[in-house]
Amino acid sequence: MFWMSVVKMLKIESDKNLIRLIGVLDKNTIPDIYFLKEKKNLIIDLKEIKSIDYEGALFLIEVSKSNKLINMSSSVKEIYDFVGSTLKDLNIPAPPDIFTQTKDYVLKIIDAIKENTLNFLLFFGEFIYFLIFLITHPWKFRFKETAAVMVKAGAGALPIVGLTSFLVGVVMAYQGAVQLSKFGANIFIVDMLDISMFREIAPLISAIVVAGRSASSFSAEIGVMKLTEEIDAMKTLGFEPFWFIVIPRVVAMMIAMPLIVFFADMIGVFGGMIISFIDLNIGFDMFLERTKEVLALKHVFIGLGKAPFFGTVIALIGTYRGLQVRNSTQDIGKYTTKSVVNAIFWVIALDSLFSIILAKLGI
Partner 1 sequence: MKEIIKVRNLTTKFGKKIIHDNIDITIYEGEIYGILGASGSGKSTLLREMILLEDRFKGTIEIMGKNVKKLSLKEEIELKKNWGVLFQFGALFSSLTVLENISVVLEEYTKLPDEFIEKTAFSKIKLVGLNEDVAYQMPKSLSGGMVKRAALARALALDPKLLFLDEPTSGLDPVSARAFDSLIKELHSFFKPTVVMVTHDPQTIVNVLDRFCILIDKKVVFEGTFKEAVNSKNEKVQKFLKPILMEIE
Q: How far is CA 274 from CA 39, 161, 190, 303, in A?
A: 86, 18, 12, 22
Residues contributing to the site for partner 1 (CB under 8 A): 1, 3-4, 26-28, 30-31, 34, 53-55, 58-59, 62, 78-79, 82-83, 86-87, 90-93, 95-96, 326-330
When the beta carbons of 87 and 122 are compared against partner 1, the nearer one is 87
Q: Give which of 97, 56, 57 is closest to 80, Cα–Cα.
A: 57
What backbone phi and psi angles, to 5 degrees, belong to 68?
-115, 130
When the beta carbons of 46 and 52 are compared against partner 1, the nearer one is 52
Please state the closest distance from residue 321 (CB atom) to partner 1, in A: 18
When the beta carbons of 76 and 149 are compared against partner 1, the nearer one is 76
Rounded distance between C-alpha atoms, residue 23 and residue 46, angstroms: 9
What backbone phi and psi angles, to 5 degrees, belong to 17?
-85, -5
Please state the closest distance from residue 34 (CB atom) to partner 1, in A: 6
The H or E element containing residue 116 is helix 98-136
Please state the closest distance from residue 56 (CB atom) to partner 1, in A: 9
Please state the closest distance from residue 111 (CB atom) to partner 1, in A: 15
Please calculate the CA angle 293-296-299 and round it to the nearest 5 degrees: 140
Please state the closest distance from residue 115 (CB atom) to partner 1, in A: 17
Query: What sections of 137-246 are H helices per DSSP?
Result: 143-149, 158-183, 188-196, 202-210, 216-227, 230-236, 241
When the beta carbons of 17 and 228 are compared against partner 1, the nearer one is 228
When the beta carbons of 34 and 143 are compared against partner 1, the nearer one is 34
Please state the closest distance from residue 294 (CB atom) to partner 1, in A: 57
When the beta carbons of 13 and 78 are compared against partner 1, the nearer one is 78
Instruction: Give residues with Cβ within 8 angstroms of 362, minimum separation 6.
Output: none
**DSSP letter assigned to residue 323:** H
